[in-house]
Amino acid sequence: MTSELPNPTAIQLPATIARNERIVDVGFWKKLRKVAGRIPFAEDAAAAYFCAVDPRTPSKVKAVLLAALAYFVVPVDVIPDFVAGFGFTDDAAVLALALSLVAGNLTDIHRKRARQALHIPEPER
């Protein structure tokens, strides 16, 4: 006899993605602009954001990126952001892992939009 009960993970995943999307929508740019000059991964975070909101990005990729970006936004971290020298290392590690998982989906257009949003000049070719 097989169980007809739904998979709890399948039910919770869309709600989790929606929650992460709300967190990112509300707080991402506010936090990034506040700390961009102090973190070396600001461009990567912005590129991840533009990839996550791109309608061409697959849902699974969006889910990974939104989770990493929500972790960056939420003030409760493994290492609190205010800890000098170490505060953003966990955020950087989470984002780096997410980007490594979805690297093929992050395009030059996402990176260009990130540089424009952060007023970073285009690299010389």
Residue spans of the domains in the chain: they are 21-117
Q: Along the chain (125 residues), what's the average pLDDT of each consecutive run of 10 residues?
A: 56 83 96 90 97 96 96 74 64 94 96 96 84
The pLDDT assigned to 14 comes to 86
The pLDDT assigned to 38 comes to 86
pTM > 0.75: yes
The pLDDT assigned to 81 comes to 53
Give the integer Cα–Cα distance in Å for 30 and 24.
10
User: Does residue 68 contact residue 48 with C-beta atoms inside 8 Å?
Assistant: yes
Give the integer Cα–Cα distance in Å for 56 and 53.
9
The pLDDT assigned to 112 comes to 97
> How many CA atoms lie less than 13 Å away from 62 in the CB half-sphere?
19
Give the integer Cα–Cα distance in Å for 6 and 50.
33
